[in-house]
Amino acid sequence: MARVIFRWTVLTVMGVFFLLPLIAMVEFSTRDPETWPLLLDWPRLAEEYPALAEGILASLAQAALTSVLMLVLLVPTAIWVRLRLPRLRRVVEFLCLLPLTIPAIVLVVGLAPVYAWVNYLIGGSSLTLVFAYTILVLPYAYRAIDTGLSAIDVRTLAEAARSLGAGWTTVIWRVVLPNIRSAVLSAAFLTVALVLGEFTIASLLHRTNLQVAIEFLGKSSATVSVAVSLTALLLAFALLLVLSLAGSSSKERRS
């Protein structure tokens, strides 16, 4: 009995603490009744807050391109290393997990000179952030894909396909990839959620994205920026929640 009381006391107090900011955001963003209709009206939003519209579009493009670049770079390499170069696996793993121990603010200090070259070679578009973001999501994406590859017998699949005359491209693209579809999907989801929330690198390399636009807008129109924050937040919540629920149900199936 004492346990049940303890459990519900803790859960209630924590629930209030975690829900209060979300409720406050709803309340704050509805103080001006114009705010939410404005957000749903894209042409008007783009006209009244061009910087915000630009940031939203930039973030969506960054999220999509980072997912693509991450998959193109990581999936074939991870499969290839498992099949042909097992000794390199430790190195690849180390490099992929390295960004976890380097704070983004530190990475930005080192990226600044690299980006001076990027500016010089391909210009200062906000899409160039995709390179840095791919590094940033590497640990999460690698762990997702590596888990997926560990769950199947890559070697036997590859040997079966090879013995039937398939080339390496066919092995990777048509045999292994369909078997790790859910791992690839969760890596892409994580990437989108992380990129939509990124601020440090964009802001310090003087490029725009959603978070930079929200921060900039906060100085002039707090209500709109809180409303956009809430929308971005709910979107990321939905993405990650789908991911974690899908993850826990697939784990159950395996066990």
Partner 1 sequence: MAEVAEAVPRRVAGRSRPRAGALLGTVPFFAFVTIFLVIPTLTVVIGAFTGAGGRGFTPANVRALTDEYILAAFGRSITLSAASAIIGAVLGALLAYALVTAKPDGPLRRVVTAAAGVLAQFGGVTLAFAFLATIGLSGFVTLWLQEHGLDPYANGVWLFELPGLTLVYTYFQIPLMVIVFLPALDGIRPQWREATASLGGNTWHYWTRVAGPLLAPAFLGSALLLFANAFSAYATAAALVSQGSPIVPLQIRGALTSEVVLGQANLGKAMALGMVVVVAVVMTLYALLQRRTAKWLG
Query: For partner 1, what does the binding mask look like between residues 30 and 59, x meaning CB under 8 A?
Result: ------------------------------
**The one among 74, 141, 180, 192 contacting partner 1 by CB under 8 A:** 74
40 vs 248 by CB, closer to partner 1: 248
Angle between helices 222-254 and 210-218 (to 10 degrees): 150
Integer angstrom CA distances of residue 214 from 52, 109, 231: 7, 23, 11
Name which position in 51, 53, 65, 80 contacts partner 1 (CB under 8 A). Answer: 80
Shortest distance in whole angstroms from residue 212 CB to partner 1: 8
Which position among 34, 37, 40, 163 is part of the footprint of partner 1 (CB under 8 A)? Answer: 163
Map the footprint of partner 1 across residues 106-125, applying CB under 8 A.
106-114
Which of 110/124 has CB closer to partner 1? Answer: 110
Question: If 0-12 CB within 10 Å is exposed, 13-18 middle and 19+ buried, where does residue 118 land?
Answer: middle
**Is residue 188 part of the contact set for partner 1 (CB under 8 A)?**
no
The DSSP secondary-structure symbol of 32 reads S
- Distance of closest approach, residue 165 Cβ to partner 1, in angstroms: 12
Interacting residues with partner 1 between 138 and 157 (CB under 8 A)? 138, 150-151, 153-156
Show contacts with partner 1 in window 197-216 (CB under 8 A). 197-200, 203-204, 211, 214-215
Do residues 201 and 210 make contact, with C-beta atoms less than 8 angstroms apart? no
Closest to partner 1 by CB, 158 vs 184, is 158
Q: Tell me phi and psi for residue 246, to 5 degrees.
A: -60, -40
Q: With binding defined as CB under 8 A, does residue 131 bind partner 1?
A: yes
Cα–Cα distance for residue pair 253/249, rounded to 1 Å? 6
> With binding defined as CB under 8 A, does residue 244 bind partner 1?
yes
CB of 241 to partner 1, least distance (A): 6
Residue-by-residue DSSP string for 211-251: HHHHHHHHTT-HHHHHHHHHHHHHHHHHHHHHHHHHHHHHH
Nearest to 73 by CA among 131, 13, 123: 131
Among 28, 60, 119, 179, binds partner 1 (CB under 8 A): 28
- Cβ-based neighbours of 223, under 8 Å, separated by 6 or more: 28, 29, 31, 32, 35
Q: Select from 10-18, 40-48, 60-68, 177-185 the region that touches partner 1 (CB under 8 A).
A: 10-18
Site string for partner 1, 214-233 (x = CB under 8 A): xx--x---x--xx--xx-xx
Amino acid (one-letter) located at 61: A
